[in-house]
Amino acid sequence: MIKKWEQQFRDELRGQGSTAPESAMVIAASTLRRVLIDHVRSRRSQQPDGGLNRVERNDPIPADAWESYADRLLALDDALSELSPIDERQARVVELRFFAGLTAEETAEALGITPRAAMREWAIAKAWLYSRMSA
């Protein structure tokens, strides 16, 4: 599965026509999001009831905690999919901050915006996502 995503990442990077680090980071964050969401969906589809109740011996996360995390992650993905057509930059900020773990300064650099703009977009996006995920 990792090889599949690695190839997709390289194809997207080539398709961008840029090898700039900032574009690579944006694509990497988007790829991380897809890999994580696909993993959750795959793990769920392996369960007879669609849940994540099976606990593996070496699994450090209890099944009930994993189920809660998976639900929230899928809700975030759905909300981000709604946000993207409305404000692509805010969606990218969330991907970079949440999925890639970048700071506001690193996010700003990756998107070619000021750190202040990155923090503003992050705050607005978080509020919008929270309202969607709480509804």
- Span 18-69, pLDDT tens digits: 545 557 888 889 888 998 899 888 877 776 555 545 545 465 666 666 677 8
User: Which H helix or E strand runs over 135?
Assistant: none
User: Which H helix or E strand runs over 1?
Assistant: none
| Residue 31 in tokens | 């790829």
- State which residues form the domain around 114: 2-134
pLDDT computed for residue 51 by the predictor: 52
Number of domains in the chain: 1
Q: What is the mean pLDDT of the chain?
A: 81
- Counting other chains too, the contacts that 53-56 makes at CB distance below 8 Å and 24 or more residues apart are none
Percent of the chain's residues with pLDDT above 90: 46
DSSP letters for 34-102: HHHHHHHHHHHHTSTTSS-----TT--S-HHHHHHHHHHHHHHHHHHHHHHHH-HHHHHHHIIIIIS--
